Structure 1
């Protein structure tokens, strides 16, 4: 290896996949040096765990709590008062989802960590758009509430929100509240997934929901399942959809499993365990992949 991956020229985006993603079923994974803690395996990290005792907040389009793939919510809220001159405020609301996107993400998390506690905060209205003020209000509320994990399958390209988002991401990190953020589906600069204080996730195109890879050339740090994912949708339906939005909740679910076994882990430690348990790291040391 002539130079580390993080210093090489960036690879071209693979046709047919969202930006920053990798076609791992067709494209050879990059070589990189592994500094490994011998004790960390996938079995050690999450074997036997179901996510019990871990609180996850989804900032999204809302969640349909009645969907069978979701399995109920601890609480459902929305950001109100945005856009009419009033200061945005987080208030309780009916556990519904007018778009389907948040329900899809919630179902993915539940499929991996069935015993996890899920709370929904609606900050998007139609699955694609929402204000920066609503995002900041929802994220600030989630951080202050002390959730273990926050799933952000969304981002903003508006640079005026960068300082406030950066401050909130850092505050979350040091409060042991870890943000898992999806990379943008297009090759554009957006936030907060590009921050080092969050776990950034893009997609791979393999079908196993427990397979994820470390990316030695960030900004996207991990690849998880994100192509033709079976997800919950509006009206109690189940569809297949693709995008980095659905890769992030796979990693959120795995993080919930790890935290349910080791609740005192800091974000730094949790990110380190994710790295050490990634499929392209454990297999380099001869460990067998253990499906849980």
Structure 2
């Protein structure tokens, strides 16, 4: 893979500086050891999730948000089972499941068969996840619309102060996208890590974290799999790690979780210079 997704360059070519982190002894053991993600509710806001896929192993519930110009807000909420219209959401859910096998995964479908969606659906999908008390929300999608800057910022702040961590992939194309640009979210780009739990922190955001997202073997529609590259597939690796941390330390706030993720990054150093 020669062409990297946008925002990935900061995590390649030996450019990444060492960053000072929390002075936690044996930080990865403290954060992850023994955790399966049990008790952690994770929403995948995407194209839907095929709970029957072997790599997903079932989901705990979900909702589909569909355009309906006759309904309030221009959309309707359809609770219950629904299909993955593409495979993208299934890929993300399977990555999360591979890291946090006992997390409760919920599918929030906001994208159509062309992987496109209306901004109102993205906003409503995040709001639904916050209202349902999700611990972590995986957003392997974003919007370039300036009109959505304020509404998405508002719901991202509601999540942050309400105890829901938003993990957002940066767009694969250059330019600002939302909600990945907000400081209240965990923003993620792809890197060629040493494994699925490999993480790097960028001291020069807006994209703060780099995770495994290049040439990734991912689940896809029809029970199959593909090899794919993208920031979309880096984000659920971070979501899975966050679910593991919360499985051990369920009272951590989004602010604290982000600090722990920085501390477990490959380029973190707890020793002051």
For the criterion TM > 0.5, the same-fold answer is: yes
Number of residues of Structure 1 aligned to a counterpart in Structure 2 = 269
How far residue 188 of structure 1 moved from its aligned partner, in angstroms, is: 1.5
How far residue 238 of structure 1 moved from its aligned partner, in angstroms, is: 1.3
- Could you tell me which residue of structure 2 aligns to residue 85 of structure 1? 70
Distance in 1 (alpha carbons) for counterparts of 2:24 and 2:197: 21
How far residue 23 of structure 1 moved from its aligned partner, in angstroms, is: 7.7
Q: TM-score, normalised by structure 2?
A: 0.94
Higher relative contact order (CA 8 A, sep 6+): 2
Distance in 2 (alpha carbons) for counterparts of 1:64 and 1:177: 24
Provide runs of 4+ in structure 1 moved above 6 Å.
Answer: none
Name structure 2 gaps, 5 residues minimum: none
Out of 28-37 and 250-259, give the one that drifted further.
28-37
Q: What SS does structure 1 have at the residue aligned with 2:9?
A: coil
- Could you tell me which residue of structure 1 aligns to residue 217 of structure 2? 230
Name structure 1 gaps, 5 residues minimum: 1-13, 286-292
Alignment of 1:174-185 (within 5 A): 174-185=161-172
Distance in 1 (alpha carbons) for counterparts of 2:19 and 2:94: 35
Instruction: Please state if 1:144 is matched with 2:131.
Output: yes
Q: What SS does structure 1 have at the residue aligned with 2:267?
A: helix
Distance in 2 (alpha carbons) for counterparts of 1:37 and 1:251: 21
- Could you tell me which residue of structure 1 aligns to residue 181 of structure 2? 194
- Could you tell me which residue of structure 1 aligns to residue 56 of structure 2? 70
How far residue 227 of structure 1 moved from its aligned partner, in angstroms, is: 0.7
How far residue 128 of structure 1 moved from its aligned partner, in angstroms, is: 2.3
How far residue 96 of structure 1 moved from its aligned partner, in angstroms, is: 1.5
> Over aligned residues, Cα RMSD in angstroms?
1.7
1:42 pairs with one of 17, 28, 33? 28
Q: 1:280 to 1:78 in 2, by over 3 A?
A: same
1:210 pairs with one of 176, 179, 197? 197
